[in-house]
């Protein structure tokens, strides 16, 4: 299996590992603005199923997306124990609802494997690489592919 072309082999990258829909994922730490507990949101009309609604983040209105649903792993029933990861993606700030956040991983670029093509799985477009962590496999989320920005939509 080849390494993921996205990172240089010698590059040191920090990830935050998390669990969504029962699976292990990770996000580059530089994309994360903050992590907070779930609190109730205001639902939006005519939104996709994965959009839970909007919440107030220090005066800004940010949409909250159910990561599990977005990855086609089924809806999450949010409770006090769930966590929202606030991420900055291009020109938008968005909250991702996940089951939990576990740890910070420091890895070298060469340790990230390229995502193999799995037939019939469209959601893996949002996985930019795979990481092995003590027998476990963690999937690196490609925010740009998961949440297209304004420009992408306009195009």
Figure out which of the listed residues 14, 48, 110, 152 binds another protein, where binding follows CB under 8 A: 48
90 touches another protein (CB under 8 A): no
Question: What is the DSSP code (8-state) at residue 41?
Answer: -
Distance of alpha carbon 31 from its chain centroid, rounded? 10
Figure out which of the listed residues 9, 30, 34, 47 binds another protein, where binding follows CB under 8 A: 47
Figure out which of the listed residues 1, 2, 10, 45 binds another protein, where binding follows CB under 8 A: 45
72 touches another protein (CB under 8 A): no
Q: Which is nearer to another protein, 59 or 135 (CB)?
A: 59
63 touches another protein (CB under 8 A): yes
Q: Which is nearer to another protein, 61 or 104 (CB)?
A: 61
Residue in 52, 72, 74, 73 with CA at minimum distance from that of residue 64: 52
CB count within 10 Å of CB 148 equals 15
> Which residues are CB-contacts of 152 (< 8 A; sequence separation ≥ 6)?
none
Q: Where are the alpha helices (DSSP H) in 3-154?
A: 67-70, 143-146, 150-154
| Footprint of another protein (CB under 8 A) | 40-49, 51, 54-56, 59-63, 91-94, 150, 153
């Amino acid at each position: 299996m080849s390494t993921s072309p996205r990172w240089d082999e010698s590059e040191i990258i920090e990830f935050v590992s998390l669990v969504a829909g029962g699976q292990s994922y990770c996000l580059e730490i530089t994309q994360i603005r903050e992590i907070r507990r779930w609190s109730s949101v205001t639902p939006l009309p005519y939104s996709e199923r994965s959009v839970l609604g909007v919440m107030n983040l220090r005066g800004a209105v940010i949409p909250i997306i159910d990561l599990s649903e977005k990855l086609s792993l089924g809806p999450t029933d949010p409770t006090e124990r769930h966590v929202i990861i606030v991420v900055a993606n291009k020109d938008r700030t968005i909250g991702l609802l996940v089951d939990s956040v576990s740890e910070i991983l420091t890895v070298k670029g060469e340790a990230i494997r390229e995502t193999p093509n799995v037939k019939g799985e469209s959601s893996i477009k949002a996985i930019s690489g795979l990481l092995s962590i003590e027998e476990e496999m963690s999937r690196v989320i490609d925010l740009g592919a998961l949440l297209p920005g304004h420009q992408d939509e306009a195009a």
